[in-house]
Amino acid sequence: MTLTKTLLASSALALLATAGLAQAVARENTVIFDLDRTIQDPENFNWMTPGTKRMHGAHQTMWEPLFILNYGTGNIDPWLATGFEQNEDSTEFTITLREGVEWSDGEAFNADDVVFTVNLAMTNEEISSREASTIKAQVASVEKVDDLTVRFTLQNPNPRFIVENFGVRIFGSFLIMPEHIWNGEDAATFAFNPPIGTGPYTFTSAASNRAIWDRNDDWWGAKTGFMDLPAPERVIFLESGGEESRAQLMASNQLDAAQNVTIGTFEAIQAQNPNVIAWHADYPYAAADPCARQLEINTTIAPWDDASMRKAVAHIIDRNQIVNVAYEGTTTASETMFAQYGSMAPFIDAVKEAGYGLPAAADVAAGQALIEAAGWTRDGDYYTKDGETLSVDIHVNSASTEYTRTIDVIVEQLQRAGIDAKAVPVENGVFWGEVLPFGAYEMSYSWLSCGSVNEPWASMGRYTVKDVVPVGERSPGFNNTARWDGGHAEAYSAVVDEIATRPLGDPEVPALVAEAYGHLDAGMPFIPLVQAAKLLPMNETYWTGWPTADNYYNHPFFWWNHTHQIIHNLEPAGN
């Protein structure tokens, strides 16, 4: 082990020793998850306000969802709720809650908590979280039928209301808070510390680089027979500090599940620690992520306010090179905005058959022709117009080498084509807190059309004109940060609004998707790049039962609200 590796391992051991302040818990009884970001406000657990408040263990161990979408079966599995019913036109939904659920302080979890939390989101104008904004936009009223029954009346038909808001379709869900603690507090400023939840773990401590959660042996689920207590006595979310250090922590058994790494890094980890596995046992190892990657474009900033210039960039980008260089062949080029899951095939095929799919290879000449048609002339290395060099700054979240590598490839491609492109790496909190939502970018790398895994509206609905706000004002729920507006955007929005009213499985929807996509292609407010793949090392030294392609109880993204399933499936190694 080199001196650098020794220092990394020693510093991690010291951190974990410091972490064990509340009680002594053996390493073999502790599961340690990788955290890919600094916890900006470790004493604040109000998930309705901006910043990292939930993914360092809060919604993985403490806050349980009502339902969980199972990516393997497509079912909406019940959790805090047992089921739901909807009326014929999908404007009314009645949710039945599970009997015997308790908050960790012993208070009953019931319909009052659900109604109270939903009303907070609907009435407090200062709340800005995506989930709260979505509820506010969709719900007309919510009422308690009895202690275990809640009825929602929607503003408009929405057949996907449950999975969209309460089913952990992508990352999280609308989280229910305890009325007996939040009542009388201003939800826009309340810090909610110490926090409580219904989950099998309670909060122990946190700092900017780690959070510790200890098992509540009086958990309601075990008392009612819903589920056994999870095996880990302690759960730690530990900031790894980047790919090199997370690799060393995994190799030395100081992490049990790590964030995304490259193929080369994963193979190096396995060479040092054969107990480390991934989603697939063999190449390409990675799991398909539902958030396809794309290049966001601020359509209000010249010259990118011209759709032909945006299309020029789309022609210049070589997606195959991104796959081969940035992803080392572990993914594929995107053909549309959608994640290429099997259930999305009818909609993807409809778009491609209509002629709007993107080729993987570049057509630089076609892109340059569009630039020249807009009045730009190649002058040496770059295009110029009226004494101005054609340039673009591309903001990128520096939290992952996947992100920065991709933009490095795109910058080089644009440079060769005559555009003076430059990568602007920024810290995770700045990227999500300041750059994207307020339109403080020309172009940026992200996945804001994320959402559709079994139907098209979830992704397409994120780019309608109803969410257009001026630059400098926060985009609601990160929707349409491109500020795409105008004729094509309005026509697109009208068709997408029609799709929203159609029941799941409606045979006319694929044709509507193709119609809407024609306007999206003409406007090009973002450029689809590649399908996302997550190569997540999982360590079987202390724990087995990790989700894999051969053990597909759900997907492996442990920073999501469904992580409750993962923790409950873990077993001590050797059992």
Whole-angstrom Cα distance, residue 467 to residue 477? 9
Cβ–Cβ < 8 Å for 467, 475: yes
Chain segment 336-352, per-residue pLDDT in tens: 999 998 889 999 999 99
Q: Is pLDDT at 329 greater than 50 in this prediction? A: yes
Which parts of 438-489 are beta strand (E)?
443-446
Which parts of 259-366 are beta strand (E)?
276-277, 287-289, 294-297
User: How much of the chain exceeds pLDDT 70, in percent?
Assistant: 95
- Helix 509-523 vs helix 487-501: angle between axes, to the nearest 10 degrees? 160
What are the C-alpha distances in Å from 270 to residues 109, 274, 536?
44, 5, 12
User: Where residue 8 falls among pLDDT bands split at 50, 70, 90?
Assistant: very low
As to burial, measured by CB atoms within 10 angstroms (0-12 exposed, 13-18 middle, 19+ buried), residue 18 is exposed
Q: Is pLDDT at 146 greater than 60 in this prediction? A: yes
The answer to which of 123-132, 385-394, 417-426, 475-484 has the lowest mean pLDDT is 123-132
Q: Is pLDDT at 18 greater than 60 in this prediction? A: no
In the prediction, which pLDDT does 271 show? Answer: 97
What are the C-alpha distances in Å from 375 to residues 313, 371, 372, 388?
15, 7, 5, 12
- Output the six-digit token pair for 273: 């620690």
Whole-angstrom Cα distance, residue 228 to residue 220? 10
Beta strands 388-389; 382-385: pairing state: antiparallel
Mean pLDDT (whole number) for 33-40: 91
User: Where residue 111 falls among pLDDT bands split at 50, 70, 90?
Assistant: very high
In the prediction, which pLDDT does 40 show? Answer: 85
Chain segment 50-78, per-residue pLDDT in tens: 776 899 999 999 999 999 999 888 889 99
In the prediction, which pLDDT does 511 show? Answer: 98
Q: Is pLDDT at 121 greater than 50 in this prediction? A: yes
Q: Is pLDDT at 15 greater than 70 in this prediction? A: no
In the prediction, which pLDDT does 2 show? Answer: 40
In the prediction, which pLDDT does 1 show? Answer: 33
In the prediction, which pLDDT does 342 show? Answer: 82
Cβ–Cβ < 8 Å for 92, 217: no
Q: What are phi and psi of 69, to 5 degrees?
A: -70, 125
| DSSP for 481-509, written as a single string | TT---SHHHHHHHHHHHHHHHSPTT-TTH
Residue where the block lists tokens 């056994």 = 228
Q: Is pLDDT at 14 greater than 70 in this prediction? A: no
User: Where residue 16 falls among pLDDT bands split at 50, 70, 90?
Assistant: low
In the prediction, which pLDDT does 441 show? Answer: 98
Mean pLDDT (whole number) for 37-57: 87
- Helix 364-373 vs helix 307-316: angle between axes, to the nearest 10 degrees? 160
CB atoms within 10 A of CB 212: 25
Largest CA distance in the chain: 74
In the prediction, which pLDDT does 81 show? Answer: 98
Whole-angstrom Cα distance, residue 479 to residue 459? 10
Whole-angstrom Cα distance, residue 203 to residue 214? 7
Whole-angstrom Cα distance, residue 72 to residue 224? 27
Chain segment 158-174, per-residue pLDDT in tens: 999 999 999 999 899 99
Chain segment 178-219, per-residue pLDDT in tens: 999 999 999 999 999 999 999 999 999 999 999 999 999 999
Beta-carbon-side half-sphere exposure of residue 503 (alpha carbons within 13 Å): 8
Higher pLDDT, 497 or 9: 497
Cα-based torsion angle of the residue sequence 278, 282, 286, 287 in order, rounded to the nearest 10 degrees = -80
Please name which of 480, 484, 460, 438 lies closest in space to residue 305, comparing C-alpha atoms: 484
Q: Is pLDDT at 395 greater than 80 in this prediction? A: yes
In the prediction, which pLDDT does 451 show? Answer: 87
Residue where the block lists tokens 């979890």 = 109
Mean pLDDT (whole number) for 475-492: 95
Whole-angstrom Cα distance, residue 414 to residue 390? 10
What are the C-alpha distances in Å from 305 to residues 442, 456, 483?
10, 26, 10
Higher pLDDT, 318 or 502: 318
Give the helix/strand (H/E) hosting 393. Answer: strand 391-397
Whole-angstrom Cα distance, residue 553 to residue 564? 12
Whole-angstrom Cα distance, residue 188 to residue 44? 12
In the prediction, which pLDDT does 33 show? Answer: 98
Chain segment 513-530, per-residue pLDDT in tens: 999 999 999 999 999 999
- Helix 364-373 vs helix 401-417: angle between axes, to the nearest 10 degrees? 60
In the prediction, which pLDDT does 309 show? Answer: 98
Whole-angstrom Cα distance, residue 501 to residue 145? 26
As to burial, measured by CB atoms within 10 angstroms (0-12 exposed, 13-18 middle, 19+ buried), residue 461 is buried
Residue where the block lists tokens 């609907």 = 122
Whole-angstrom Cα distance, residue 76 to residue 367? 44
Q: Is pLDDT at 177 greater than 90 in this prediction? A: yes
Q: Is pLDDT at 11 greater than 70 in this prediction? A: no
User: Where residue 454 falls among pLDDT bands split at 50, 70, 90?
Assistant: confident
In the prediction, which pLDDT does 316 show? Answer: 98
User: How much of the chain exceeds pLDDT 90, in percent?
Assistant: 83
Mean pLDDT of the chain: 93
In the prediction, which pLDDT does 401 show? Answer: 84
As to burial, measured by CB atoms within 10 angstroms (0-12 exposed, 13-18 middle, 19+ buried), residue 513 is buried
User: Where residue 10 falls among pLDDT bands split at 50, 70, 90?
Assistant: very low
300 CB-near residues (< 8 Å, 6+ apart):
439, 471, 483
User: Where residue 13 falls among pLDDT bands split at 50, 70, 90?
Assistant: very low
